[in-house]
Amino acid sequence: MMGVKTQVKVGVVNDFVVDVGKVVEVQGIALAVFRLSNGRFKAVENRCPHKEGPLAEGIVSGEFVFCPLHDWKIDLEGGQVQAPDHGCVKTYKVAVEGDDVYILT
**pLDDT average, residue stretch 4-30:** 95
Q: Percent of the chain having pLDDT more than 90?
A: 86
Task: Give the residue numbers spanning the domain of 92.
Answer: 7-104
Interval 42-92: pLDDT, tens:
999 999 998 889 999 999 999 999 999 999 999 999 999 999 888 999 999
Does any domain span residue 39? yes
Does any domain span residue 57? yes
Q: How many distinct structural domains can be found in the chain?
A: 1
The enclosing domain of 13 has a CATH number of 2.102.10.10
CB 93 within 8 Å of CB 103: yes
Does any domain span residue 45? yes
Among 13-17, 30-34, 86-90, whose mean pLDDT is lowest? 86-90
